[in-house]
Structure 1
């Protein structure tokens, strides 16, 4: 009887969880803004003669997610180009300035903890995926005729977040991502080293479910 009661209770809990889960076939769209905050040590270039510092930037973002199963979604993140200033500093504190723009589309598989009776009906989620970052409009202020290039990057991406519902199909989202972004830099076609950006990306968004 105890075993039967436990099985019945487990089945009831599973049914309740499934009933309130985000069902397969659901779409969500999130519009907001994110800050790309590169790691503090971005590597060295020119035979380790210069340390690299890449600053942060905030831009509008949008993402779409399709639920392939209950509570399991596939999300694509897009954004307008992020702008970053780059500073190269040698041992004598001499600086060379540069800049770049980049787009970091990221594809993730995510699990949403919906239907778990969380306090205030909040809905945490976690995800993992792949980031592709393409760089363009690179500049280096080292006299005329010098050309800086940053190669495209492919790396893993992790995602955690929290959806706070305020209507049946609308939520406020707070999230954070880690992106493994490393790019090979070249000056006038000659390899000068690797720039390790690998940022945390913090954001807020309005989420609509369809």
Structure 2
């Protein structure tokens, strides 16, 4: 959480600085035109940032008990290929997220996951300081390092991998023709089965919101 707050403060500072920079850059129509042409000529955007996976409350039942999946935050990176200045294909990757699974409020399992997302975005107002975007895509969540905790220690647990739909929305703050700061949120359809000692004991419906803040470079 501290990392997210620090990144937010950085984004606010950079956004304020961008207004001052653009006030000078766009002082004449020719400068605005040069900036627009530069933006249109780039085809890649690389971003590096930090994201928090926030699971929805109450994730279903496992073995007749209420299941809750904890939240997690990790560094993330993405690469976006711009087919046009407005349309782009994006791949999001992350360091492994780590989640605690509680049953009836007691910590009972732990798992790690990698959640790559491939999607397509549409960017509005690409020549402006503030450029919002929306997108859709597909997510594949790979679970690994599943372990039992508490009263389940000594048993084997397995969380199934999952395919799901993803929705995406955010805003780019264009600091210059190359540099930008991005704040975004994704909703991921994540519904997966859980096995204990090889026997299926139910499903967990995580359906998280993923909040992100990143710094990007356009080239």
The TM-score bracket by the shorter chain reads: 0.7 to 0.9
2:169 to 153, 160, 173: 160
Matched, 1:113 2:130: no
Which residues of structure 1 form unaligned runs of 5+? Answer: 1-15
**Which residue of structure 1 lines up, in the alignment, with residue 141 of structure 2?**
133
Match of 2:62 in 1: 45
**Cα distance in 2 between the residues matched to 1:71 and 1:87:** 43
1:202 is aligned to 2:211: yes
Gaps of 5+ in 2: 1-32
Aligned partners of 1:101, 1:198: CA distance in 2, in Å? 16
Q: Give the C-alpha shift of residue 116 in structure 1.
A: 6.3
Aligned residues: CA RMSD = 1.9
The CA deviation at 1:41 is 1.7
Say whether residues 1:66 and 2:81 are aligned partners: yes
How many angstroms apart in 1 are the aligned matches of 2:55 and 2:190?
A: 9
The residue correspondences of 1:11-90 to structure 2 (distance < 5 A) are: 23=40, 26-46=43-63, 49-89=64-104
How many residues align structurally?
A: 184
Does the aligned pair in 2 maintain the 1:21–1:115 contact within 8 Å? no
**TM-score using structure 1 length:** 0.82
| Distance in 1, Cα, partners of 2:84 & 2:175 | 24
Choose between structure 1 and 2: higher strand proportion: 1
Q: Give the C-alpha shift of residue 69 in structure 1.
A: 2.5
Contact 1:23/1:67 (8 A) holds in 2? no
Larger Rg: 1
Please report the TM-score for the alignment, with normalisation by the length of structure 2. 0.79
Distance 1:80 1:179 in 2: 17
C-alpha separation in 2, matches of 1:188 and 1:175: 39
